[in-house]
Amino acid sequence: MAPNAVNDETPGPTATRGEPVKGSGVLEDAQSLWQELRELSHDRFRLAALETQRAGDSLVSMLVAGVMVAVLLIGAWLGLLAAAVLWLVEHGVVASSAILLAVVFNLLLSLILCAVIRRKSRYLQFPATLRSLRPRPPERRDQEKS
């Protein structure tokens, strides 16, 4: 061998004059890549399915706990109302008037909470996101460019 000659010992198909490069290596790489992509996507979907199942179980547990808390809070609220009615009766208010006053107080509080719910419900529709997705009028685009 000549001292200036390059020694090419890399394995694989080499092309010489009149001999085409074999594409089987590229095809095998593409098939391997495709198989890895399928396995990766399968793993991701499996993970998503497991996390969805866990989230569903957690949601059911939270709903059951929430219902139990609501029942306990209703009992406590009724106890507070009963104590307030008894206090009013002890201080000279007629029992029927004291009960009616407790009912009116309950209804007034319910109306206030319904107004809060109605006012907050508009944010459930993602208003800022919807505004950002709407196309801007042409005059606003021209103002932003200058």
34-64 per-position pLDDT tens digit: 998 888 888 888 888 999 999 999 999 999 9
Does the pLDDT at position 127 exceed 90? no
Q: Is residue 145 part of a domain?
A: no
The helix/strand/coil state of 41 is helix
Interval 100-120: pLDDT, tens: 999 999 999 999 999 999 999
Give the range of the structural domain holding residue 123, as residue numbers without chain letter: 26-132
- Please check whether residue 3 lies inside any domain of the structure: no
Cα(146)–Cα(144) distance, integer angstroms: 6
Q: What is the pTM of this model?
A: 0.55
Q: Tell me the two tokens of residue 22.
A: 């074999």
Residue 90: inside a domain: yes
Question: Does position 14 have pLDDT exceeding 70, yes or no?
Answer: no
In a domain, 17, yes or no: no
- Determine the pLDDT at residue 120: 92
In a domain, 33, yes or no: yes
Residue 67 CA to residue 77 CA, distance in Å, equals 15
Tell whether 106 is covered by a domain.
yes
Structural domains in the chain (count): 1
| Domain annotation covers residue 12 | no
Is residue 112 assigned to a domain?
yes
